[in-house]
A and B are shown apart, each in its own frame.
Chain A
Amino acid sequence: MTILNTFFYIILPYLALFIFLLGTIYRYRNVKFQISSLSSEFLEGKKLFWGSVPFHWGMLFLFFGHLTAFLIPRSVLLWNSHPVRLLVLEVAAFAFGLSMLVGLINLIYRRWTQDRIRVVTSWMDHVVEILLVTQVFLGLWVALEYRWGSSWFASSLTPYLRSIFLLEPRMDAVVAMPLVIRLHIIGAYLIVMLFPFSRLMHALVAPLDYIWRPYQRVIWNWNKNKVRNPSNGWSVYRPKNN
């Protein structure tokens, strides 16, 4: 049992992080062309709305919720110190979880039933979708069954996750958790591990720099004045334009 536990809660997270880092960096540097959100809205737009929108917004809220609880657990505990605020947080999180589940089911249904979408589907898309839907389902189950997750996550799970990042892993807290929660944790590691091999990559290239860049973009392949000036040394630098 200890061997299995060690594998799932200590070896797996490190393996997942290692594969995630190496894979994403390799892919970004070497096969940049393949990084794309692979939108299929062009082939089918109406049904996508009821899948993509609830899924992504739910996902964004829950991702940043988990992240906050991991990075600044004290803030979550402080917020939850008042029962009304705790209830607001839990209900909101559950609603976003539901929206994510509904969105995912719509997306999977669309992918399975639309001929055009099936053409642009790879086996990895199925793997990712099934993994995600399982993960969301487990998450909702945890939220219902083992209340109040936002509080006990911040107090019990954050130390475990932190111990992993501090390279002195302690899994006592996790091992004592109920099975559903442990499955949810393992699912998270699997998703992290699959990142570089799947369309999830597009989350890493979210175009946030669009907010502060100027609208128009002009690229010179080389600085003509500089090139013509014989006193300048030869430079092999050229802007990356393709």
Chain B
Amino acid sequence: MDVRAQMSMVFHLDKCIGCHTCSIACKNIWTDRKGAEYMWWNNVETKPGTGYPTKWEDQEIYKGGWEKKDRDISLKGAGKLRGLMNIFHNPNLPVIDDYYEPFTYKYLDLIESPAMNDQPTARPVSLITGKPIDIKAGPNWDDDLSGTPDYARQDPNLKNLTPAEQEAMFQLERMAFYYLPRICNHCLNPACVASCPSGAIYKRGEDGIVLINQNVCRAWRMCVTACPYKKSYYNWHTGKSEKCILCYPRIEAGYAPACMHSCVGRIRYLGVVLYDADEIHEVASCDEASLVNRQLNMILDPFDERVIESAKKNGIADSTIKAAQYSPTYKFVKEWGLALPLHPEFRTLPMLFYVPPLLPVMASLREVNNQAQAEKMNPTAKYWNDNWLYDTSTEELWGTIDQARFPLKYLASLFSAGDENKVKHILKKLLAVRIHRRNVTVGDMDKAKVDQVMKDTNLTSEEAEAIYYLTSLAKFDDRFVIPASHREQSMEMLEFTGDTKGSVGFGLKSDPLRSA
């Protein structure tokens, strides 16, 4: 057993309101620079939708992630042979138009315009060429546009759904969507690290954060192809790749990453998990059906004496082990089994977990006769000629999940490599916690029914309360359990913590100038 510590995240999708505050916090700190304008290390997508870059989930287009070959895995679009043969021109590299061309407006024209009969306008200009452009896309162009032919219906996750199921999803009355905030997953089997010909990308042993050494990166740009989540970005100005650094300077100082700190819905949790590094390759190359289970099994019980002993043998500090025991990630992922990795079938073993959203499935639609109700209305009132009822009753216990407005197949294709039962189990559990709380606070439900719900989902009321607490009431220190970085034992984790203006945030003392 080779125990390592990993900073691991949980995003609770039910709580995400899609406000993009996380994206802005990240942008203001890290990517507000020339060449990085188009980068959103943190972005929020509307699902169903095409995302950013467009259709990033479709690996037939982008060739990201790992592929199973017999008993082994290989990189789909990069790797030793393919990467070096394609080094002069990478056929699978997304270009900037797959993201969007960054733009600004000529605001000065508004001020400097001479007096005239017409209002002056601020024309949009490209942030690359400085020339006027027609804006065609932005980082969240599909925001809230579920159901549109351009975005929602192009979602790569729909390919396993029958046309009838898709049609049902996009009926005006049934339409639903949710938000998917994304950052780098800081994977255990990162494809970007494996694809980098220079060896510039590495995983930090102490906390598992994946970083790109800006001094070693030589713009071979294979990581952009290899990352199936498209979270490694090419800076066209400096000729270096960049990615989410999980705000490691903040984490080392005990602060939560900016996106998590600023999260309005408090959907984000950060904690340490201990895992067995010996299993990485074996788990990453196992059958797709057992992929999720085996990935979750890699995460070790931080209370287990044997685990603690081997963790100590590996030099993991007592404070880190303690943080792992209090880790909200461990609770969500292992103790309660409520969170799943995003697209585990890419085989990178992502360490960012999502609690799948209950909201799109919460209410069912029933066909009722609204005639009697309509006749009672004022004759001048607008008469809606529909017979739908948005039903949030709890008469049928699992009815809303069984007849969800969202086919569970859709959620399963995102979070469990197609296993609907896993998603269903979690949704039932989430619903059970709500029913339990409804019983506690409102008390309008049949006791037998509540007990049945809890029994069905194997929940005790203590557990349900704990889930409720961490979901709804959790304070800052409950959501972010960050172990000390123990600087007393080494001067700095970084070589240089000084930085220069316009630099890339990696503690470089030299100016980030491109060469001649």
Assuming the contacts A36-B238, A197-B516, A209-B199, asked whether A41 and B495 have C-beta atoms less than 8 A apart, the reply is no
The answer to whether the Cβ of B159 comes within 8 Å of any Cβ in the partner chain is no
Distance of A142 Cα from B49 Cα, bound (Å): 59
Q: A36 near B240 (CB under 8 angstroms)?
A: yes
The answer to whether the Cβ of A176 comes within 8 Å of any Cβ in the partner chain is no
- The residue of chain B having its C-beta at the shortest distance from the C-beta of A219 within the complex is B202
* CB neighbours of B215 from chain A (8 A): 32-33, 242
Least CB distance, B447 to chain A, in whole angstroms: 53
The answer to whether the Cβ of A45 comes within 8 Å of any Cβ in the partner chain is yes
Main secondary structure of the interface of B (DSSP, over half): loop
Q: A217 near B205 (CB under 8 angstroms)?
A: no
Distance of A207 Cα from B96 Cα, bound (Å): 25
Q: A210 near B83 (CB under 8 angstroms)?
A: yes
Task: Write out, one digit per residue, whether chain B residues 126-145 have a CB within 8 A of any chain A CB (1) or not (0).
Answer: 00111100000000000000
Kindly name the residue among B202, B224, B508 whose own CB sees the greatest number of chain A CB atoms within 10 A.
Answer: B202
Which segment of A73-81, A93-101, A115-123, A151-159 sits at the interface? Answer: A115-123
Q: A216 near B189 (CB under 8 angstroms)?
A: yes
Give the contacts of A222-241 with B (CB-CB under 8 A). 222-225, 227-228, 238, 240-241
- The residue of chain A having its C-beta at the shortest distance from the C-beta of B506 within the complex is A242
Which segment of B86-94, B338-346, B354-362, B418-426 sits at the interface? Answer: B86-94
The answer to whether the Cβ of A170 comes within 8 Å of any Cβ in the partner chain is no
Least CB distance, A40 to chain B, in whole angstroms: 7
Assuming the contacts A36-B239, A120-B236, asked whether A199 and B205 have C-beta atoms less than 8 A apart, the reply is no
Q: A37 near B220 (CB under 8 angstroms)?
A: yes
- The residue of chain A having its C-beta at the shortest distance from the C-beta of B512 within the complex is A33
Least CB distance, A218 to chain B, in whole angstroms: 5
The answer to whether the Cβ of B371 comes within 8 Å of any Cβ in the partner chain is no
Least CB distance, B60 to chain A, in whole angstroms: 18
Q: A219 near B205 (CB under 8 angstroms)?
A: yes
Give the contacts of B35-80 with A (CB-CB under 8 A). 80
Q: B202 near A201 (CB under 8 angstroms)?
A: no
- The residue of chain B having its C-beta at the shortest distance from the C-beta of A56 within the complex is B88
Distance of A119 Cα from B35 Cα, bound (Å): 11
Q: Which of B91, B206, B218 contacts A35 (CB 8 A)?
A: B218
Which segment of A14-22, A47-55, A160-168 sits at the interface? Answer: A47-55
Task: Write out, one digit per residue, whether chain B residues 212-230 have a CB within 8 A of any chain A CB (1) or not (0).
Answer: 0111111111001000000
Least CB distance, A56 to chain B, in whole angstroms: 4
Least CB distance, A229 to chain B, in whole angstroms: 10
The answer to whether the Cβ of B201 comes within 8 Å of any Cβ in the partner chain is yes
- The residue of chain B having its C-beta at the shortest distance from the C-beta of A55 within the complex is B88
The answer to whether the Cβ of A2 comes within 8 Å of any Cβ in the partner chain is no
- The residue of chain A having its C-beta at the shortest distance from the C-beta of B84 within the complex is A210
The answer to whether the Cβ of B194 comes within 8 Å of any Cβ in the partner chain is yes
* CB neighbours of A213 from chain B (8 A): 199
Q: B199 near A41 (CB under 8 angstroms)?
A: no
Least CB distance, A13 to chain B, in whole angstroms: 23
The answer to whether the Cβ of B234 comes within 8 Å of any Cβ in the partner chain is yes
Assuming the contacts A38-B514, A43-B96, asked whether A217 and B219 have C-beta atoms less than 8 A apart, the reply is no
* CB neighbours of A41 from chain B (8 A): 89-90, 93, 95, 221
Would you mind naming 7 contact pairs between A and B with Cβ atoms under 8 Å apart? A36-B239, A42-B93, A122-B516, A210-B80, A216-B203, A217-B199, A224-B317
Question: What 9 new A-B contacts, CB under 8 Å, besides A120-B237, A217-B199, A222-B489?
Answer: A36-B219, A39-B239, A40-B236, A41-B221, A120-B514, A210-B197, A238-B495, A241-B202, A241-B211
Q: Kindly list the 8 A-B residue pairs having the minimum CB-CB distance in the complex, ordered from nearest.
A: A224-B315, A207-B197, A36-B239, A220-B205, A124-B516, A215-B194, A34-B515, A38-B239
